[in-house]
Chain A
Amino acid sequence: MSAQATRSARAVRRTRRIEAFKASARLFARNRMGVAGLAILTVFVILALFADVLAPESRLSVTDAPGAPLEPPSAQFWLGTDELGRSVLDLVIQGSQISLLVGFLATAISMLIGALVGITAGYFGSWTDVVLMRLTDWFLVIPFLPLAIVLAALLGRGLFVIAFVIGIVTWPGTARVVRAQVLTLKERPYVERARALGASDRQIIGRHILPNVFPLIFANTILVVAVAILTEATLSFLGLGDPFSVSWGSILESAFAEGAISLGAWWYLVPPGLCIVLVVLGFTMCGYAFDEILDPRLRKR
C-alpha cells in the first residue's frame, strides 16, 4: 500500500477512460446524423469563438454604421442592414456568441440541479423524495415570466443572470423524468446484485444508476439547450436581456420593433430565426447519435 500503487491504479483508470472515449468517438463518426449535427454545431461554435475577428464590434457602432438603413442583401452586406445601417450578418455572428453562451450555461445549471435532485429523490426515496419533489413541484408551478422578471430586476440584467434564471426554471422537468427512471432502475435485479456484491450507495449510483439515466439526461439536455436558447430570445425580446450585448433574441426584438415584417425586410428577421432553428436541430441530431452510442441496444450491427 503506497502512494505509488494508488497512482498507478489511477493511471490505469485514466488510460482506460481515454480508450473508452476513443471507442465512443469511433462509433459517433460512423453515425451520419450525428456527424451532420456535429458539423452544424461546430460551424456555430467556430462562428461564436471568432466572432470578434469575423465581425469586429467596431462595425456594430450605432453612430458610425457602415450602410444605409434597411438595405436589402448586396455584395457588400450579404444579409442586408438593420434600421441603423449595421450589417445583419455581423449582428448574427456577434449574436451567436451570446446565444450559445447563455444556452450552454443555462443548460449546465439546469442539468446539474435536475439530475442531482432526480437521482437523490428517486434513489433514496421516503422523506427525501417527498421533500425534493414538493420543491420540484413548487418550481414547476411558479409562473416563469414573472419569476424571470423579478429575478432580473433583483439581480440586475446580465448574461449570467439570464443563464441562472433559465437554469432555475427549467430543471424541474429533468428532475421529474430522471426520478421516474431511477425509481424503476433501483428495483432492477442488477442493482440488487450490485448490492450483494458489496457496493455502496455511491458506487451503485455511479456505476449502475448514472449510466442508465445518462441517455435520458442527455436527451433532456438537448431539449433544454433548445428551450434555453429560445428563452433567452424571449427574455431579450421583452427587454430583460443584457442591454450591452447582441443576441439572436435581441436582433429579433429590434426587427420586430422596427416593423421588419410590414416593411418586407425579411433579411432582418430570417437569419437570426434560422440560426436558432439550425442550432436546435444540430443539438437534436447529436443527441440521437449519442443516445445510440450510450444505449448499445439501439446500435445497428
Chain B
Amino acid sequence: MNRTLLEIKNLRVSYEVRGTKAPAVDGVDLTLQAGDALGLAGESGCGKSTLALACLGLLPRNATVEGSVRFLDTEVVGAKPGRLRALRWAGISMVFQGAMNAFNPVKRVGDQVVEAILLHQNVSRSEARGRMRELFEHVGIAPRRAGDYPHEFSGGMRQRVMIAMALACDPPLVIADEPTTALDVMIQAQILNLLAQLREERNLALLVITHDLSVLAQVTDRVAVMYAGRIVEEGFAAELLTTPRHPYTKSLVGAFPVVGDPASRGVPAGLPGDPPHPEARPRGCAFHPRCPAAFEPCDRIDPVLERHGSRLAACHLVAEEEAR
C-alpha cells in the first residue's frame, strides 16, 4: 500500500510584517507515502513549523501561501473553511510542542480528547469516551486519569495524552512539531519509542519536525534538512545522519556528540552566526556567509536541489564532488 498521502509542490509561504513580505517557506517540494516517516530538521526560523501549519491550513491571516499542498485528493491551499475543518485531525493531526500549553487548563484531559472524536465522528458521547479510554491505555496512561486536569499531569504524561489525542480520529498522517522539546532524555526516549511503535501498529505516516537530529535517527526513515525556507538536503535518515554531504547538514550533525564515540564527546562543533532574516536573503546560496566550504560560485549562483544517487542536495560543492 503505497499511495501518496501528502504531496507538497513548490510551496511558498510569506508573512506580511509591517508592509514587507518575509518569505518563511521558499519553494519546498515534499512527498510522503502512507506509512512513511519523514523528519524535517533545521535551526529555529528556517520554516519548519510554517510548513507544518501550511499542511493543515492553519497559518495566520498575515500569511500568503502559493504553490500546492495535496492531501490524498484534497488541495489544502485555498480550500474552503468547511473542507479544511473536515480534513484537520481526521486526515492530518498534530502533536504540538510543549504539550502543557496545548491543553485547556479548565477542562479535564479526557474531555479534551473526547472533543476531538466528537468533532469528526458521528458517535455518541459514551462511545467517544470508550474510545478515549482505549487510546489512553494505548499510550500508557491509566484511563482513570481521564478525569484529571492538565496541571495534574507531568510533562511526559501530557505529551502521551497529546499523542492519544492525535490518534483520536485514526488519521493517516500525524505531524509532530518538536514532540520531545522540554522533556528530559528518559522521557524523550519513551515518547519516541511510543511514536515508533504506534507508527508500526497503525501504518501511520509521521512528519517529525525538530532541531534535534538524534530524535530523527530514532523514528524516521527519511530526513529533509531545511535552511532559510528551502530544503537543502534530503535522504535516508541513517545515511544522511552518518554521511552528510551538504555543509549545513555537516554542521548540524557535528553539533552533536556521537554516543559510543569518545572522540566526538568533548568537541561538538558549533556553527557561528544565525540563519538569514527572511527579508534579507543573501545573494547566491543562502548559506554561503556561514559556510565553511564556500567557494567561487556560492555567492553568485543559487544552487538547485539535485539528485545524487539516493540523496538530494542543493550545494555547489556536492555537485562538484559528484562531477569529479
Contacts A197-B88, A198-B87, A198-B88: A188 and B115 contacting too (C-beta < 8 A)? no
| Interchain CA distance A95-B96 in the complex, whole Å | 57
| Interchain CA distance A110-B236 in the complex, whole Å | 62
Query: Interface digits, B83-96 against A, CB 8 Å rule (1 contact, 0 not)?
Result: 01111111001101
Shortest A20–chain B CB gap in Å is 10
Find out whether the CB atom of B93 lies under 8 angstroms from the CB atom of A196.
Answer: yes
Which segment, of A37-45, A98-106, A143-151, A207-215, faces chain B? A207-215
Question: B102 at the A/B interface (Cβ < 8 Å)?
Answer: yes
Question: A22 at the A/B interface (Cβ < 8 Å)?
Answer: no
Question: B105 at the A/B interface (Cβ < 8 Å)?
Answer: yes
| Interchain CA distance A193-B125 in the complex, whole Å | 21
Instruction: Write the chain A residue with the least CB distance to B103.
Output: A190
Shortest A295–chain B CB gap in Å is 6
Instruction: Write the chain B residue with the least CB distance to A13.
Output: B125
Instruction: Write the chain A residue with the least CB distance to B93.
Output: A196
Chain B residues numbered 74-122 whose CB sits less than 8 Å from any CB in chain A: 81, 84-90, 93-94, 96, 98, 101-107, 112, 115-116, 119-120, 122
Question: A195 at the A/B interface (Cβ < 8 Å)?
Answer: yes
Question: A3 at the A/B interface (Cβ < 8 Å)?
Answer: no
Find out whether the CB atom of A9 lies under 8 angstroms from the CB atom of B103.
Answer: no
- Total CB contacts across the A-B interface at under 8 A: 79
Shortest B110–chain A CB gap in Å is 13
Find out whether the CB atom of B89 lies under 8 angstroms from the CB atom of A297.
Answer: no
Find out whether the CB atom of B89 lies under 8 angstroms from the CB atom of A197.
Answer: yes
| Interchain CA distance A297-B106 in the complex, whole Å | 8
Instruction: Write the chain B residue with the least CB distance to A200.
Output: B85
Instruction: Write the chain A residue with the least CB distance to B150.
Output: A190
Find out whether the CB atom of A211 lies under 8 angstroms from the CB atom of B104.
Answer: yes
| Interchain CA distance A261-B50 in the complex, whole Å | 72
Shortest A173–chain B CB gap in Å is 23
Question: A294 at the A/B interface (Cβ < 8 Å)?
Answer: yes
Shortest A21–chain B CB gap in Å is 15
Find out whether the CB atom of A198 lies under 8 angstroms from the CB atom of B104.
Answer: no
Contacts A188-B101, A211-B104, A295-B106: A196 and B88 contacting too (C-beta < 8 A)? yes
Find out whether the CB atom of A297 lies under 8 angstroms from the CB atom of B103.
Answer: no
Please, could you name 8 A-B residue pairs with CB atoms under 8 Å apart, sorted by A?
A189-B96, A190-B101, A190-B112, A196-B94, A199-B115, A296-B149, A297-B149, A297-B151
